[in-house]
Amino acid sequence: MTTFGERLTAATATRGPLCVGIDPHPGLLDAWDLPRTVAGLERFAMTAVEALGPEVAVIKPQSAFFEAFGSAGVAVLEKVLAGCREAGALVLLDAKRGDIGSTMAAYAAAYLTDDSPLAADALTVSPYLGFGSLRPALDAAAVSGRGLFVLALTSNPEGPELQHAVAGERSVAQTIADHAAAENAGASPLGSVGLVVGATIGRTGVDLSAVNGPLLAPGIGAQGATAADLRTVFGDDLSAVLPTTSREVLGAGPDVAALRAAARKSVDQVQAALG
């Protein structure tokens, strides 16, 4: 069994270090001249899979936009997960799950086990019930060779009031980074427990150098960050950074060729910035 860290390293080496979101926002459905229905959702999502699945290293469906359509929307999400895998892309499901005990274990079973129709290569999770509350997901991911991306330094303006709060001698964000580093200790070429660190937040005051896991950097493009901003956030060592963009690429649709061209342009930009 290969680990998620190994598969991610291979995918970014082959396809470039970029994650593209599939976010069926109502405004994007309108822009693609699609109805705000399950049929429109499926047309949008599967067009994105057709265009991006063979091109980019990681695709990140935003679960909430599918859940908004109820069980029929979740069924479309299952098709997206399967289609991305068939096209050779890794799938990071952006669901930001976080809970305790048996509930966290149920989320882990839903998203991180081989026999689940919602299983992804990796899952975003929230540690703000304590990093230890993620243990069922951490264990399930390790057993199945999957990954986690733990929220650490998010770009929303409310984030710092919690993430930069000091607990003992360390900020909450630094504590999360240190826990991730402990989970990834000894892994090569890269651990499978990553962090989410917004590309728009500037200097963080958090030492990420020991994490030894992927650093997902949302905010490139429509949210205002440029690929060049990555060095401000992460410093000179950008080897583990995985920039992510959504609307910057999706806005080129619905034409498949235009979507692919936008993705290639984003890959070129981040490769130039990452060196």
Cβ neighbourhood burial of 10 (10 Å; 0-12, 13-18, 19+): middle
Cβ neighbourhood burial of 18 (10 Å; 0-12, 13-18, 19+): buried
**Catalytic-labelled residue, pool 60, 79, 96, 265:** 96
**Residue labelled with tokens 């949008």:** 44
Contact 154, 163 (CB under 8 A): yes
Which residues, in sequence order, are CB contacts of 73 under 8 Å at separation 6+?
A: 38, 41, 65, 66, 67
Q: How far apart are CA 233 and CA 199, in angstroms?
A: 7
Q: What are phi and psi of 118, to 5 degrees?
A: -100, 10
Cα→Cα distances 183→119, 131, 140, 168, 244, Å? 21, 11, 13, 21, 23
Active site residue 265: no
Q: What is the dihedral of CA 163, 137, 19, 49, to 10 degrees?
A: -140
Question: Mind telling me the catalytic residues?
Answer: 96
